[in-house]
Structure 1
Amino acid sequence: MKGLVTKTHNRFYEITIVDRGQTYLCSPKGIFKRKEDPEYRLPVVGDEVTIELLKRKQRGVDGYIVDITPRRNSLTRALTDKRRQRVMAANLAQLFIVSAVVKPGLDWGFIDRYLLTCELAGIPCAIVLNKIDLLEGDRVDALPSIYRDLGYPVIETSVKKNLGIDRLRDMTAHGISLLSGASGVGKSSLINQLVPEANLATGEVDQKRGTGKHTTTYSALVPLGDDAWLADSPGLRDFAPPPVEPDQVRFGYREITEAQGHCRFSTCLHDSEPECAIREGVSQGIVTEHRYKSYLAVLDEMREFHQSRFQ
């Protein structure tokens, strides 16, 4: 029987048979631990799976997950040591990177890391600037226009004033949309505004540290309509892209991918090579210094990771 993973918690999974409207609690069969591809050793929300139901419940479960359908895409992050990775969600129609203009405030480097990961994974993404009602003045700063010029939708939202919610609702009308970001940026509040019956827990930001509390301790899909789901996931303190070869980092930045054909060397990594079109673009304002520094930071991280593998 085929189903959709709609909730994960402590190695137990709620599997929804969408056309029947039935949900079963299942656990993975032992064969998953021996999967050749480590990314497929545990299901994640959004996975399409095959389950085998038991004649009656055993140890609280209705059945077992016996297979995961190959994913169309997946959002993956590196864990602290970067030698391990965790798949956060699969088969996404799009990712919304949620950040708060204040409490805890914008972190464009954090956003860039998400964008890089989505570009390399082939996941469409948009930027949500939440809590816009708390901002003093008319604009966040000059940076959102940079991202709009690169083709990323930027949505300014406020749950309290119901700003941007209709646009967000229109953009999430089909497929699985994941709202992800740091703790305290208001992901759960946005989902509750879009789907009031979801009734997700929300929390306040730590006033001293300016960081949010983890109010979501599991990953879940919230039904939004026919063939439409909102994915909520635990908030993160930081987001580290999964390790890639250093020469792949440049393909995670749209402006670099577009301009690097004018570099003298096709293998140019844009940090020290002569006649580099990207560094020239930075000096001319064609490539923003903010994004270029973001690129160099990730490039250095990937170099250090790959060098450490041989030490």
Structure 2
Amino acid sequence: MERRSDGVVVRATGSWYEVLHDGQTLRCRIRGRLRLKGVRSTNPVVVGDRVTCERDEAGDCLITDIAPRSNYVIRRASNLSKESHIIAANIDRAVLLVTLRSPETPTEFVDRFLVTCEAYKVPVTILLSKIDLQEAEAVARFRTIYEAAGYEVVEVAAKAGVGLERVRELLAGRTTLLAGNSGVGKSTLVHAIDPSLDIRTGEISESHHKGRHTTTFSTMYPLSGGGAVIDTPGIKGFGLIDIDDDELWHYFPEMMRAAPGCRFYNCTHTHEPGCAVIEAVRSGEIAWERYESYLKIRDEDEKYRK
């Protein structure tokens, strides 16, 4: 490569970064001063970042600059109450894989992820994974809740080929983040979409009925049909960051639709008389499960917010 070049980060380990430049993958480190720019993230460079690289006198490749991000998906860093962890940047769509059993994805996790995508302008689609293992009644209720909120819900069984055509349409020509708890089938889905990709898969732990981590580092994979997917390590928790209580309801689309009918302009949608959101919950227009998540997130404990 020339001494200075631009590229996209396709793999991030925390110590080394793989940058795609003109079809060539460069193994790079971060120039130290990049860590001193006031970034409150545990990972200043992430998969999807557009970066500038330079060769130093020893011939090593260094990331020296990061282009402004169009968007990103971020969460509170584990055990670090004031720091964040950016999962990926510059993505066209997020796809959240959810399972209602084997293993169970907590509703609050789903809603926290959706709130973050809304806040950071990332379109999101929900995939109900391992649909052949789910109970029909639970699937129907889940679809009712999230389709009423405004999200597309796609039923998928990767090994059986169910829903794969719609997933291919979502991925075609786009950079897509695949996210979800461990064990929901992200790697299996990617392999079903594009068998040429060598992504490891894992099994469910019978003793704890939870997924084992299979992806160690976030990695962007090019798809043979165009576009790319970012496969991420399974996420256990999803703490919100930089979202105030007063603006939280802005990121529940169904609440945004109802809120103009509230009596008070600064309604918190928790107790006020004449609250159109509360009335919509009572009438079933807004699902109780979503409203309950809203209340829980507002009242979240100290491990997520100080």
Change (3 A) 1:291 1:139: closer
Give, in angstroms, the shift of residue 222 of structure 1.
0.4
TM-score scaled by length of structure 1: 0.91
* Aligned twin of 2:9: 5
Structure 1: how far apart are the matches of 2:226 and 2:58? Answer: 30
Structure 2: how far apart are the matches of 1:196 and 1:225? Answer: 9
* Aligned twin of 2:179: 180
Change (3 A) 1:303 1:292: farther
Structure 1: how far apart are the matches of 2:15 and 2:104? Answer: 33
* Aligned twin of 1:244: 243
Give, in angstroms, the shift of residue 56 of structure 1.
5.8
| 2:155 aligned with 1:160 | no
- Kept in 1, the 8 Å contact 2:205–2:212? The answer is yes
Change (3 A) 1:174 1:40: farther
TM-score scaled by length of structure 2: 0.92
Change (3 A) 1:163 1:56: farther
Identity of aligned residues (%): 35
- Kept in 1, the 8 Å contact 2:40–2:84? The answer is no
* Aligned twin of 2:63: 65
Query: Cα deviation per residue 1:144-185 (whole Å; 9 max; x = unaligned)?
Result: 122123321111111221111111011101221011010010
* Aligned twin of 1:16: 20
Matches within 5 A, 1:183-202: 183-202=182-201
* Aligned twin of 2:75: 77
Give, in angstroms, the shift of residue 277 of structure 1.
1.1
Q: What is the letter of the counterpart of residue 188 of structure 2?
A: S
Matches within 5 A, 1:1-311: 1-17=5-21, 20-39=22-41, 42-54=44-56, 57=59, 62-79=60-77, 80-137=79-136, 140-225=139-224, 228-301=227-300, 308=306
- Kept in 1, the 8 Å contact 2:183–2:212? The answer is yes
Aligned length: 301
Give, in angstroms, the shift of residue 227 of structure 1.
5.7
- Kept in 1, the 8 Å contact 2:182–2:210? The answer is yes
Give, in angstroms, the shift of residue 135 of structure 1.
3.0
Q: What is the letter of the counterpart of residue 34 of structure 2?
A: F
Q: What is the letter of the counterpart of residue 50 of structure 1?
A: T
RMSD across aligned C-alpha pairs, in angstroms?
2.1
Give, in angstroms, the shift of residue 11 of structure 1.
1.7
Q: Which runs of 4+ in 1 moved over 4 A?
A: 54-57, 136-139, 302-306
Query: Cα deviation per residue 1:40-97 (whole Å; 9 max; x = unaligned)?
Result: 962100000000034664xxxx400000000000100012343211111000100011
Q: Which structure 2 residue ranges, 5 or more long, are not aligned?
A: none
